[in-house]
Structure 1
């Protein structure tokens, strides 16, 4: 987990997060622009799972009450399967988490989501801009067939 405000201009981020099923109770997560790699050991067997970024719904911000009554902000990558959710930062600083929320969403090319009572809602109207190949690529003919009529 990265402290709010510290996730700037990095090509990959590595997190160690709790995982009650893993040996040692932790898993190692690497987040890049290409996808997410989750590594853990289960009963002595090393496991690695690569999850593409388009499998994630977006970057979700959830606000919970802290022990002292102040708001606690949780910023995470939201997946349909909660086992693949990744906690990006946990802080009580609202300004820093807002900046990180915008940064993570633009860096990963995912929409910003608001988590309210367990329901994810998109913050912006419209679909996110995905990094995809040109739409007419499938309509092009291969080079060696382009000469033939």
Structure 2
């Protein structure tokens, strides 16, 4: 299975990033060798993706939830060549439904784009190995990335021997100037 569409002779892709509710849907044209005119229109919505293409003169529309995609993979556009061009691809089991979200002739911004689209769409980040198989870049639990346990920090500051802040907030109690002393009086307790 290929992780990216087998077309690498088109213009590089850099989509405008949607911020909050503004900027949706993200609409762009993508190459599609099987479609009429060799092009399809892609619409990214917050919950799903819509593909528009024409086959044999008939308009086709496919709406696909992001949960149907495997994740976002980084792929080399020319794996055997000396070119450093890379792409961030929204990978589907069917290679014709995979969509390139970002591609560039250099690897400078690819990780930032990979993380952005992965977080925005809620899909895992995938790595393509030499054999062409996809594997998760980080272990995940649903949309959460699982990290290792962090050791507790030792306090090495000058304040480590001071009293805790809770005790500093308490007001100090005050004693009266002189406690009353009763002398020469009879006791209140009857000892008969």
1:74 and 1:91 in contact (8 A); partners too: yes
Within 5 Å, give how 1:1-149 maps onto structure 2.
2-3=13-14, 6-9=16-19, 10-65=23-78, 69-116=82-129, 117-129=131-143
2:124 and 2:140 in contact (8 A); partners too: no
Unaligned runs of 5+ in 2: 1-11, 145-192
* Whole-Å separation in 2 of the counterparts to 1:95 and 1:111: 21
2:122 and 2:143 in contact (8 A); partners too: yes
Structure 1 or 2: more helix by fraction: 1
3-state SS of 2:109 partner: helix
* Whole-Å separation in 1 of the counterparts to 2:141 and 2:86: 25
1:2 and 1:15 in contact (8 A); partners too: no
* Whole-Å separation in 2 of the counterparts to 1:59 and 1:77: 5
Q: Deviations over 1:118-148 (max 9, x none)?
A: 2111011123318xxxxxxxxxxxxxxxxxx
| TM score, norm. by length of structure 2 | 0.60
3-state SS of 2:37 partner: helix
* Whole-Å separation in 1 of the counterparts to 2:18 and 2:110: 13
2:13 and 2:104 in contact (8 A); partners too: no
| TM score, norm. by length of structure 1 | 0.76
**CA apart distance, 1:47:** 0.8
Deviating beyond 3 angstroms after TM superposition, the runs of 4 or more aligned structure 1 residues are: 64-68
CA gap of 1:127–1:7, structure 2 versus 1, over 3 A, is same
Q: Which structure: larger Rg?
A: 2
Q: Deviations over 1:31-81 (max 9, x none)?
A: 122111000111111110011110001011013547972422111000111
Structure 1 or 2: more strand by fraction: 1
**CA-based RMSD:** 2.2
CA gap of 1:68–1:57, structure 2 versus 1, over 3 A, is closer
